[in-house]
Amino acid sequence: MDKFDTLTGVAAPMPLINIDTDMIIPKQFLKTIKRSGLGANVFDEMRFNDDGSEKEDFVLNKPAYRESQIIVAGENFGCGSSREHAPWALLDFGIRCVIAPSFADIFYNNCFKNGILPIALPQEDVDKLMEDAERGANATLSIDLENQTIKGPDGGEIAFEIDAFRKHCLLNGLDDIGLTMEKEASIDTFEAQHKAGQPWLAGADA
């Protein structure tokens, strides 16, 4: 998993509330267990017409926001089914951070496991960042995870809270496997001691 320390980029405004996981990645694209390739269909029904052409009025189809790595959204982002494909699709598209007043719990947890930073802020702070995001190519936000701050295009700064353990994981690029591998030396020591004390369990002669 890629580390997350600082991120500066154009933020895309998505003021809708209750953006659910089926809106993020519709069910017909859930046949794969691969994490790559899903970005092509992120927000599929919102991005494309039935004939496959782009909907010009959807924010991520607008020239200023095509390379956005940050989304500023309405409350309850990521609600609906618990599909982990939703953060996979966002990440594959290039989204590394979502800012909203609130998130669905499972989606929120899945973001951290996949290298996406979800930031929950009071509504008034989200409203300010939404106004900033509506500036198009000038909608640049700078996110500093270490210092837990968001700096807007005018230089204003907003602080955010994050669980210390989740912060550690993002800063060091640690998913569940990475966390386990941090204990590799201890695991090896335990296995050696276990084999020595109970060799028959390891298939060795008693």
Instruction: Indicate the range of 23-32, 71-80, 143-152, 169-178 predicted with least confidence.
Output: 169-178
Share of the chain above pLDDT 70, in %: 87
Continuous segment of H or E residues that includes residue 184: helix 184-197
| Furthest C-alpha separation in the chain | 73
Neighbours of 30 (CB within 10 A): 17
Class of domain 6-174: alpha beta
Q: How far apart are CA 105 and CA 107, in angstroms?
A: 6
Domains of the chain, by residue range, sit at: 6-174, 177-206
**How high is the mean pLDDT of the chain?**
91
Q: With beta carbons less than 8 A apart as the criterion, state whether 9 and 137 touch.
A: no
pLDDT band at 26 (very low <50, low <70, confident <90, very high): very high
Provide the pLDDT for residue 206: 46
Q: What is the pLDDT of residues 89-146, one digit of tens each?
A: 999 999 999 999 999 999 999 999 999 999 999 999 999 999 999 999 888 999 999 9
